[in-house]
Amino acid sequence: GAVVSQHPSRVICKSGTSVKIECRSLDFQATTMFWYRQFPKKSLMLMATSNEGSKATYEQGVEKDKFLINHASLTLSTLTVTSAHPEDSSFYICSARVGGQDYGYTFGSGTRLTVV
Amino acid sequence: GQNIDQPTEMTATEGAIVQINCTYQTSGFNGLFWYQQHAGEAPTFLSYNVLDGLEEKGRFSSFLSRSKGYSYLLLKELQMKDSASYLCAVTDSNYQLIWGAGTKLIIKP
């Protein structure tokens, strides 16, 4: 089945530093990648939609300059949290739509970011 | 606005059956998904309904009524490993995925 590999799974960083999260589609081409953020016991919150070769579309309230998204190839999308602060600590998940009968979305394994 | 409602938490007994309901009000409809999410992990796909009726996959079944804006996920022969959150999500007319807050299912021996 379609697999999205997300790395790193956990990261701890100091306030003010930047963290890059990578998502790779391993056995399919993901022209569109969705980036979500999830707070404890809350549902997924869509942050942005990245499209290969073009600028990402950000949801209202999400700072473009803080959450940099790059989708340079059909198999790789990255999210960089710049100048991280403790309030950026969260679970970040990427997802890609998979074609076929199920029309489902496959998710990366998630990244637990802790900013200290 | 767009809204998806599902119970916050449910408790059931190992070996029993549980039904998790989901109601939605969205601008258009292009399908409804159910996902399972264990704590600290990413969601995994369970089912997809776009037409009315029941879809069965082993111990899990999902039902949809578009006229009522209603779906349910039915879990049979519950196992302890089924303890997780179950997320209902609807694709609207723009194919944007709208997520419910999830139902935490607690299985007791």
Task: Report residue B47 CA to chain centroid gap.
Answer: 8
Residue A112, beta-bridge partner list: A10, A91
CA A65 – CA A75 distance, rounded (Å): 23
Residue A93's nearest CA partner among A25, A51, A33 is: A33
Question: Per residue in B72-105, pLDDT tens?
Answer: 999 999 999 999 999 999 988 877 788 999 999 9
Instruction: Give the number of C-alpha atoms closer than 13 A to the C-alpha of residue B88, restricted to the C-beta side.
Output: 28
Query: Residue A115 above 60 pLDDT?
Result: yes
At A101 the pLDDT is 44
**Best of B99, B103, B104, B105 to disrupt the A interface by mutation (most A CBs within 10 Å)?**
B99
Residue B6 carries which side chain, given as an amino acid letter? Q
B42 and A46 within 8 Å at the Cβ level: the answer is no
What is the arithmetic mean of pLDDT over B27-38?
92
Does B87 contact A102 at a Cβ distance shorter than 8 Å?
no
Q: How confident is the model over A22-45, as a mean pLDDT?
A: 88
Cβ of A34 and B97 within 8 Å? yes
Which residues touch A27 (CB under 8 Å, ≥6 apart)? A2, A3
pLDDT of residue A29: 84
pLDDT of residue A57: 92
Element (H, E) at A19: strand A19-25
